[in-house]
Structure 1
Amino acid sequence: MLIDAADMLGQQALARFFTPLLQPVSWEAWRLGAQRAYVHLGVTGFMVRHQPAEDSIGTAVGSLPDPLLRALCRQTGDPVDVGLARSPLPQSWRADVLHAAYPHALYGQLGEAGVVYGMSVACRSGSGVSRVDFYRSRHGDSFTGCAQQGTLQLLALHLHEGAAFLLRSAGVLSEREREALAWSAQDKTIREVSDMMGISQRAVYFHLQNAAAKLQVYSTRHAISRAIELGLLAL
């Protein structure tokens, strides 16, 4: 059985692990900071899907493989999302139970990735809304203890704010990246953008890939949408 989170860490340790997550220097630092915090809580993985607004395109980051993170952004009718929309309380679940009860391949894929238990938290603030997931493998326990849930809710809020901070920091797109996105937003091909910017097609592709990476999305189309949402691109 896991030791009570508050007894195990104490308030000073909580501050030491959680506070740096609010303004991380990079996504990698944010991920590593999250791991340092949740490993003490018996958690084996996590995911944050952040949206600047309820109906906007989400950005999913965390410890899961990229295909699963992309699936979490695309999925609709997710039973966990439905539960979070109805109640502010954390949603505890088992991947195999959700996979058997609902026609969502995602939870079967999570199970194949080693996830047995999950706890999902909805975080809302002026910076947007996030779904934050914490995962445990078959060697862990379910997320049912009140103290555990309370501590993980606090960690979820720090991860939510850290993700929002990094997305705002993505405003530091270079002029070339902004220009390449702006032309692409007008349905110009790579070749046409290359001609208009006076650079090679490889350079255009490089700038578009950089912009997508900074915005934590997986395609030029999503990068354009995210840049517009963040006020980085005006059409």
Structure 2
Amino acid sequence: MDLFAQSWTALRTAVDGLPDDDFAAPSGCTGWLVRDLACHLIIDAQDVLITLVTPTDEEPTRDAASYWEVAHQPPTGTDPLDALTVRLAAAYEQPRLLKFHLDDVGAAAGRAADLADPGQRVRTRGHVLTAGDYLGAYVLEWTLHHLDLVAHLDGPEPPADGLRRSRELFERIAGFAFPASFSDSDTLLVGTGRRAPTGDERERLGPPAARLPVVLG
């Protein structure tokens, strides 16, 4: 729960500190500018709020790892929902409006997470998880998107604790561990297909390199 707050606060702070020109820069998400990513974060914050007020008494069907749907083809940026995000982001026109909305909804999502009972079961995307597992999955979401945010900018990396936990969770999802010589950031970037492994990295990975990328959705 603490890592959720830490990673979410760091990501929102990073967005808030961007100069206006940076919102027109490419992000680490294929087909999205930084402004599109910021808009997506607003939608994510809304999802967190909706999920945390959708309790259920049913038994959990997923945990923080199995919450994710896995594919092996990187996104092309042409998915209808991705395209909708681009249009929504453009409608804001001014970066300060994106910042304001993200701060407003994002702060509310953070407060809801602070108040949540980790053992409470919640429903989302047709599945049931404990609130703790759901928010744990979002540590990975925030960490990946923090890396996306600064992919082409001179900005701060995600918090080290969030990177470490996200690597552990990603390796559970992937079903194999990256060599210790890979940094946490490189494990996430290479593992999810955000960048291709170098020849040396591919050699160090060995046979698991053929199983990359592990695309999370």
TM normalised by structure 2 equals: 0.25
Larger radius of gyration: 1
| TM-score, normalising length: structure 1 | 0.23
Compare the two structures and name the one with the higher strand fraction: 1
- Which structure has the higher relative contact order (CA within 8 Å, separation 6+)? 2
